């Protein structure tokens, strides 16, 4: 998935130095972490958060996630023991006492979590799923 | 002695030739390729600039005369609109939010276009291409001015239009059109013409202009309609330049074909993503609807575009890579966009609202396969929340696509309940994309796109706070401080329409006794 990308098609008249606009050192000791609660599209897009790499995974779950997803009617019903966690598409089992860094959640990593019993608000009116 | 017959006046064609080819010379003190370095570095091979067919034989004197007449008519209408308090004749104050989106997001593009064409109007080796680009550069500057003048009248009566240049350079959703144009004019001249003259003006312009201008007509905004008519004759000239440039490149050398194809793939997709904002405007922001986004897409993209790519097939050009995905998106993108703006409506510079019941019915009817099934539930839920707990706003900043800079709100083509995720790693850093097409654009030129000014990332870097804020600890409400930096007044320029001064003022001016939230 993460094959080495090269600049074969970039053409320029002169030198074209590399300038990464979002290097980790620009974020005051934090790194950017994206979060996506799968199937819950009431939140229109995944979130982008600046978080310290030392943040324990348990604090992410107990402090950060309630702040950003708490308004969803299903949030309180989440069984964190059964929640499935993915670093992009890679499944991982978090240790709540260990840091984001420990879990390999580098700068600009995407955490996707799936809550199997809760698949968004379902309505009986439509023929399909009413996921949000 | 024979008297020499002096031809008093040149014909139109001769005058045009004198003004273009006649004013061109090949340099001798310096090599031509050093005077005109830009039109070769992209890899496009041109063997004979004389094969360039001038799309529109317009001379400068004819241009002044023609445009001057149009401007006189336009400004007469704008003056009459102002003197007659035309703003009171519009369908509903919600309509003005479409104009806000236009002055914030579209009008600055005219200025970008002016700069782009002024640049390529210097850099092409061929005189015909230079003159056509120079005239378009003047058109674009005029459009920037006339749009600003036409809409400035509304700025006297409604909020959300007073700081548009600063907003265009900073606010998250306006980075979508801004980065689109910056991407285009930092390309070479041939890529610029493929991006703007062809993909944007030729292929997609009807989807930008028709919804705004017929939206204006349906909603009683004669001032904007007149601007639209004034610009229309220029647009047809611009479209001709777009198709001429494409055919010229394709006919000059077979090696040009794959380069042009790649640019078409890229710029079709970039333009399509930009049009998400128009799709939303068309389906949700016009109190009197013209047609749905889906209908407009079918009429202007599917049928016209389909014929165009059949025509270009003889050069070895196929339809753009993202074409089928764009056609599939017609059932979804306007709803996804409005759901996004509804929840981030406290961080934008215009008002948002929930569709009224009659509008929900219209959406169900126009989108029978998708609206009730995937989107209505969200709006119903928010309506309940608004009644019980008050208007809901999403307080956490969204993840954006590294290329189009739209929030990652688009879903998979085969499953509208799943966000479409794509990522790649370049020089050790991860980058995320809304679609396989935006990812492909990045992977062709990663060094270009890692420089992107991604608004959410920039907020976290501290680039969007007032001077008195420490970006490392911006306090309890970073969004409030960011809005202060933007110069957006919370609740006045944004928030829900039902509680806005725009709504109450308009009702007062019209002697309307309806309560907040009721339709007009």
The pLDDT tens digits for B255-271 are: 999 999 999 999 999 99
pLDDT at B518: 53
The pLDDT tens digits for A53-103 are: 999 999 999 999 999 999 999 999 999 999 999 999 999 999 999 999 999
Quick one: B334 exposed, middle or buried, by C-beta within 10 A (0-12, 13-18, 19+)? buried
What is the full DSSP assignment across B71-133? HHHHHHHHHHHHHTTGGGGSS-GGGHHHHHHIIIIIHHHHHHHHHHHHHHHHH-SSHHHHHHH
Residues B18 and B24: their CA atoms lie apart, in Å, by 9
Residue B398 contacts A, CB cutoff 8 Å: yes
pLDDT at A122: 52
What residues of A are in contact with residue B372 (Cβ under 8 Å)? 125-126
First to last CA, chain B: 84
- The larger pLDDT score, comparing residue B304 to residue B54, is at B304
Residue in A22, A109, A126 nearest the CB of B457: A22
pLDDT exceeds cutoff 60 at A126? no
Task: Determine the residue of chain B that is closest to A28 in CA distance.
Answer: B472
pLDDT at A125: 41
pLDDT at B191: 97
pLDDT at B367: 98
Query: Is B422 in contact with B438 (CB distance < 8 Å)?
Result: yes
pLDDT exceeds cutoff 50 at A1? no
Average pLDDT, chain B: 93
Query: Is B211 in contact with B290 (CB distance < 8 Å)?
Result: yes
Residues B18 and B31: their CA atoms lie apart, in Å, by 24
pLDDT at A6: 65
Show the tokens assigned to B388: 């019980």
Confidence of residue B303 (pLDDT cuts 50, 70, 90): confident
Residue A14 contacts B, CB cutoff 8 Å: no
ipTM exceeds 0.90, yes or no:
yes
What is the full DSSP assignment across B483-503? HHHHT--TTTTSSBGGGSHHH
The pLDDT tens digits for A18-63 are: 999 999 999 999 999 999 999 999 999 999 999 999 999 999 999 9
Q: How near does any CA of chain B get to the CA of A65, in Å?
A: 11
pLDDT exceeds cutoff 70 at A121? no
Residue in A5, A26, A45 nearest the CB of B398: A45
Show the tokens assigned to A72: 């969803």
pLDDT at A120: 76
Q: Three-state DSSP class for B222?
A: helix
**pTM of this prediction?**
0.94
CA angle B296, B301, B306 (to 5 degrees): 145
pLDDT at B16: 86
Question: Which distant-in-sequence residues (6+ apart) come within 8 Å of B181 by Cβ?
Answer: B109, B112, B113, B116, B196
Element (H, E) at B417: strand B415-419
Residues B210 and B228: their CA atoms lie apart, in Å, by 9
Share of chain B above pLDDT 90, in %: 80
What are the Cα distances from residue B269, in Å, to B207, B275, B444?
A: 14, 10, 14
pLDDT at B5: 65
Task: Determine the residue of chain B that is closest to A34 in CA distance.
Answer: B399
Residues 254-273 of B with CB under 8 A from A: 262
Beta bridge partners of B291: none
The pLDDT tens digits for B195-225 are: 999 999 888 888 888 888 899 999 999 989 9
pLDDT at B57: 79
Query: Is B492 in contact with B331 (CB distance < 8 Å)?
Result: no
Residues 7-66 of B with CB under 8 A from A: 37-38, 41-43
The pLDDT tens digits for B360-374 are: 999 999 999 999 999
pLDDT exceeds cutoff 80 at B512? no
The pLDDT tens digits for B145-199 are: 999 999 999 999 999 999 999 999 999 999 999 999 999 999 999 999 999 999 9
Beta bridge partners of B423: B432
Residues 104-123 of A with CB under 8 A from B: 106-110, 112, 120-121, 123
> How many residue contacts between A and B have a Cβ separation below 8 Å?
163
Show the tokens assigned to B165: 């240049």
Confidence of residue A2 (pLDDT cuts 50, 70, 90): very low
């Amino acid at each position: 998935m993460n094959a080495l990308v090269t600049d074969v098609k970039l053409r320029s008249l002169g030198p074209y130095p590399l300038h990464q606009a979002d290097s980790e050192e620009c974020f005051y000791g934090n790194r950017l972490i994206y979060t996506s609660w799968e199937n819950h599209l009431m939140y229109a897009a995944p979130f982008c958060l600046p978080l310290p790499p030392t943040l324990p995974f348990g604090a992410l779950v107990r402090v950060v996630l309630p702040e950003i997803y708490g308004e969803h009617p299903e949030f309180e019903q989440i069984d964190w023991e059964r929640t499935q966690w993915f670093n992009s598409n890679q499944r991982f089992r978090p240790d709540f006492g260990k840091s984001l860094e420990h879990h390999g959640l580098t700068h600009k990593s995407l955490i996707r979590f799936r809550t199997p019993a809760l698949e968004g608000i379902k309505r009986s009116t439509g023929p399909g799923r009413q996921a949000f | 002695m024979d008297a020499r017959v002096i031809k008093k006046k040149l014909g139109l064609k001769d005058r045009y030739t004198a003004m273009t080819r006649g004013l061109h010379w090949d340099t001798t003190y310096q090599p031509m390729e050093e005077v005109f370095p830009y039109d070769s570095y992209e890899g496009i091979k041109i063997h004979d600039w004389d094969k360039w067919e001038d799309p529109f034989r317009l001379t400068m004197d004819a241009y002044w005369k023609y445009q001057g007449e149009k401007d006189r008519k336009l400004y007469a209408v704008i003056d009459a609109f102002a003197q007659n308090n035309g703003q009171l004749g519009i369908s509903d104050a919600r309509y003005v939010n479409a104009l806000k989106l236009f002055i914030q997001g579209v009008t600055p593009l005219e200025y970008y276009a002016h700069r782009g064409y002024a640049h390529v109007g210097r850099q092409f080796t061929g005189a015909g291409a230079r003159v056509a680009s120079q005239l378009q550069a003047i058109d674009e500057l005029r459009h920037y001015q006339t749009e600003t003048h036409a809409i400035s009248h509304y700025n006297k009566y409604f909020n959300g239009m007073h700081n548009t240049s600063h907003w265009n350079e900073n606010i998250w959703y306006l980075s979508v059109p801004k980065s689109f144009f910056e991407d285009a004019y930092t390309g070479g001249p041939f890529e610029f013409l493929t991006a703007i003259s062809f993909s944007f003006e030729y292929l997609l312009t009807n989807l930008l202009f028709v919804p705004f201008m017929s939206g204006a007509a349906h909603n009683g905004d004669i001032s904007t309609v007149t601007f639209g008519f004034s610009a229309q004759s220029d647009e047809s000239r611009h479209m001709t330049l777009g198709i001429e440039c494409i055919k010229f490149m394709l006919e000059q050398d077979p090696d040009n074909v794959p380069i042009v194809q790649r640019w078409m793939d890229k710029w079709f997709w970039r333009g399509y993503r930009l049009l998400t904002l128009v799709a939303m405007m068309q389906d949700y922001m016009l109190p009197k609807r013209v047609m749905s986004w889906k209908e407009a897409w079918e009429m202007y993209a599917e049928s016209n575009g389909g014929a165009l790519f059949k025509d270009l097939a003889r050069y070895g050009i196929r339809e753009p890579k993202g074409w089928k995905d764009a056609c599939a998106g017609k059932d979804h993108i306007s709803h996804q966009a409005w759901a996004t703006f509804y929840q981030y409506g406290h961080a934008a510079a215009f008002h948002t609202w929930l569709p009224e019941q009659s509008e929900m019915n219209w959406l169900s009817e126009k989108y029978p396969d998708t609206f009730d099934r995937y989107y209505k539930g969200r709006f119903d839920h928010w309506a309940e929340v608004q009644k019980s707990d008050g208007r809901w706003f999403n307080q956490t900043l969204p993840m954006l696509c590294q290329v189009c800079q739209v929030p990652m709100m688009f879903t998979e083509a085969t499953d509208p309940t799943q966000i479409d995720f794509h990522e790649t790693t370049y020089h050790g850093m991860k980058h995320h994309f809304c679609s396989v097409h935006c990812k492909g654009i990045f992977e062709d030129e990663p060094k270009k796109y890692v420089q992107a000014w991604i608004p959410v990332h920039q907020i976290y870097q501290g680039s969007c706070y007032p001077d008195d804020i420490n970006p490392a600890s911006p306090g309890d409400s970073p969004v409030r401080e960011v809005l202060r930096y933007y110069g957006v007044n919370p609740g006045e320029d944004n928030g829900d329409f039902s509680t806005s001064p725009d709504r109450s003022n308009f009702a007062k001016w019209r002697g309307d006794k309806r309560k907040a939230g009721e339709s007009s």
